[in-house]
Structure 1
Amino acid sequence: MNAWRQSACASHILINGRNTTMHSDALSWGHGPRLFEVFLEPTCPFSVKAFFKLDDLLAQAGEDNVTVRIRLQSQPWHMFSGVIVRCILAAATLEGG
């Protein structure tokens, strides 16, 4: 998964009374016609274990056959999950995020 690309997601929020569009991009690897979306939580040990298996999945399936896309999903039973996921998404809206 060395070469990744991002797919755009937009959200609209109010900043200083003005409607502002912020973009947070999902991480994607591969460029195949089949989409495999993975919903992960960064503090979950099972999500971390799954994340480290995605390289092998993409290598076996082939980058021309499948696109792997990661979505962050907060899990309330993990302490600080909501805060950490929001921080990552906020950082992703910055230039070069």
Structure 2
Amino acid sequence: MNAIPVSIAEAKSHISELIAKSQHSQKRFVLTRRDKPVAAIVSLEDLQWLEQREERKGLASIATQWLGFEEVAEHLENLNNLRNQGDMGRDVSL
């Protein structure tokens, strides 16, 4: 799904509509200033997915720094490559 560019001026006058479309239609909007992207409006679901992805990357980077865990690091790298290819896997958050 591609994000729809919207100028900040337009977003100011249509913020409620943009939020509703983001929430109910899963649309994403990139706010622009002078045609340059500066921020985004995404659904809460998208934000949670992004935060989970960041957390997974953070844990993987820590694990790869432990001495003696080369084999684990290799498996984590393979897993990260699969995720980057679009395989989200399953949500394992508690």
TM-score, with length taken from structure 1: 0.26
**Structure of larger gyration radius:** 2
Task: Name the structure where helix makes up a greater proportion of residues.
Answer: 2
Higher relative contact order (CA 8 A, sep 6+): 1
Task: Name the structure where strand makes up a greater proportion of residues.
Answer: 1
